[in-house]
Amino acid sequence: MKTQKTVILIILFMTSTLISSDFIPISWNQPQIISKIGLSHLSQQIDENKIISPLNECSAKKSDFALSSWSNFKKSVSNFFSVKDQSCFLSYYHKSDQQLNAYYKLSLYSGFDYSTSLENESAIYQYNGVLTVGNIYDKLFFYTKWWSGSFSGDHDYFDPAFDFLDSWTQKSDDGKKTYVDNFSGKLLYKLPVGAISLGRGKYQIGNNIGGSIILDNQTNDYGYFGASLQLGKLEFSLLHATLIPDSMSNNTNNSLKYNDKYLAVHKIDWVPSPNLHFFLGEHVLYGNRDIDPGYLLPVAFYRAIEHNLRDRDNVLIFLGFNYNVHSNVKFYFNFIFDELSKSTIFANWWGNKYAFQVGSSFALRDDEQSCLVIEVTGIRPWLYTHNILENKFSHDGRSLGYPGGSNLINVSTEINLLLNEYCSFLINGSFSKQGNVGNDFSINYDTRPSDNASWLEGDISDIYQITAQTSIHPINHHSLMIGIRLKKVENTELDKQVYLSYQARY
């Protein structure tokens, strides 16, 4: 019911304003260690904490508009090709009594992505977009990002070639072009010991380089509202998102419809020291009904609530920790499970659905941007599946969990080298062993062949993948990425992909 949703939002806002740290991160659960590899500028996640600056870092700025005068236009063209310039198309700074209390910035960007299989397949995507950011009294923060463009080339090659192609597409009337656009954004109000937010985006939980086993962002964006509360070394956070199910059902008049689907996440973080971080939380996926107020409680036990709702929803529990061994070495561990019977935890009961991920990062230089990361991931069969269509751990046809699926063991490594301030080199390699039973979120676990499932159940395939990429920023408003990706699945031909991504922003 719409009235119920409105009341819930009002209650969340009113209770949040009653609580009142010096610093509240803009981004929700931003991992410290993530893969820097991306086949396109569009697939790279916005670092929300970096694009929105505190007011005290830009108090000397002046308002500017590239088209305000002919002289300003010529200056903007010159800045567009400069090495150090940081200006944008439109910037407005509001001051009172010589003190900055708000700003608004608007940037235009354009680019293209090209990919080829080095055989007879190739495609290109050209796009334009707008990015806006704002800060009012260091209390209200917002950003919006929109882009739109069209593909040309081999249509069958689009999906495997462009990793940002994660949602709905539309073809032109003549069928020669495919159009894709997207929008993400966030509105956040910061409080003395917390924050509330409303937005559209996607997030990760847990450090990783091969993809998160807890919540991954290689999927379409989703609308959400969230809240966080910081009490000393403890932080409580909540996210509630509206998802798209992976298929449609018949309506009463026999027409197709999308059923309701939601994701609720709550998480507790404990940071006893600057070098140690523990976290614990739950996911619940549910649908085909209105928002459940029970899943909006930040400090609750979702699994108990789900049991009392007749065990119809999909609840997963996760935990982990990050440990800075010293300034150059970081260690992390992630764990997630679904059923996990204590009496059969080391047996082959199919319901022992869990995954672990352990990794370490070694700084190669003092700048911390040059590093080596090694990671091992193990996922039991059937982890992200469910017998109710709406409750699979997925959104709009993509898994919300580990991108490689389940029923696997994976070893990944990534080397990031900052060659100079204008150029960097990245290489990411992985090897997986994966069984063909219960290895995909789309499988209904009621179709399992038996009640037993061992590690790597079924026919096992070896999967090799390596990606090398060079990023070049010759001048500040321009960026170029060139790379190659090779993938080999046992008993298949080597899949080759060369890609180039260019973006200009002002």
pLDDT at residue 24 in the model: 56
Report the alpha-carbon distance of residue 151 to residue 127 in Å, rounded: 9
pLDDT at residue 327 in the model: 84
Q: Are 436 and 462 in contact (CB under 8 A)?
A: no
Cβ neighbour number for residue 1 with a 10 Å cutoff: 8
Residue 209 pLDDT class (50, 70, 90 cuts): very high
Q: Are 183 and 145 in contact (CB under 8 A)?
A: yes
Q: Measure the CA dihedral 335/337/343/344, to 10°.
A: -90
Q: How are beta strands 170-171 and 460-472 bridged, if at all?
A: unpaired
Mean pLDDT of 461-477: 93
Residues 6+ apart with CB under 8 A from 65: 72, 89, 90, 91
pTM of the prediction? Answer: 0.89
Q: Are 340 and 333 in contact (CB under 8 A)?
A: no
* 73-110 pLDDT, tens digit each: 999 999 999 888 888 999 999 988 778 899 999 999 99
pLDDT at residue 48 in the model: 85
Q: Are 223 and 206 in contact (CB under 8 A)?
A: no
Report the alpha-carbon distance of residue 207 to residue 41 in Å, rounded: 21
User: What percentage of residues in the chain have a pLDDT greater than 90?
Assistant: 62
Residue 7 pLDDT class (50, 70, 90 cuts): very low
State yes or no: pLDDT of 167 exceeds 50. Answer: yes
Among the residue ranges 140-144, 312-316, 386-390, the one predicted with the least confidence is 386-390
pLDDT at residue 13 in the model: 43
Residue 4 pLDDT class (50, 70, 90 cuts): very low
Report the alpha-carbon distance of residue 255 to residue 252 in Å, rounded: 7
* DSSP-derived 3-state class of residue 282: strand
Read off φ and ψ for residue 220, nearest 5 degrees: -65, 155
* 355-388 pLDDT, tens digit each: 999 999 999 887 778 999 999 999 999 999 998 8
Integer angstrom CA distances of residue 127 from 154, 237, 473: 18, 35, 19
Residues 6+ apart with CB under 8 A from 385: 392, 393, 406, 438, 440, 441, 442, 443, 444, 445
pLDDT at residue 471 in the model: 95
State yes or no: pLDDT of 220 exceeds 60. Answer: yes
Residue 52 pLDDT class (50, 70, 90 cuts): confident
State yes or no: pLDDT of 296 exceeds 50. Answer: yes
Q: Are 108 and 67 in contact (CB under 8 A)?
A: no
Structure-token pair, residue 214: 């807890």
* 452-463 pLDDT, tens digit each: 999 999 999 999
Mean pLDDT of 341-362: 88
Integer angstrom CA distances of residue 194 from 28, 225, 278, 360: 12, 14, 19, 31
Residue 330 pLDDT class (50, 70, 90 cuts): very high
State yes or no: pLDDT of 318 exceeds 60. Answer: yes
Measured in whole angstroms, the distance separating CA 270 from the mean position of its chain's CA atoms is 22
Report the alpha-carbon distance of residue 420 to residue 426 in Å, rounded: 13
Q: Are 259 and 252 in contact (CB under 8 A)?
A: no
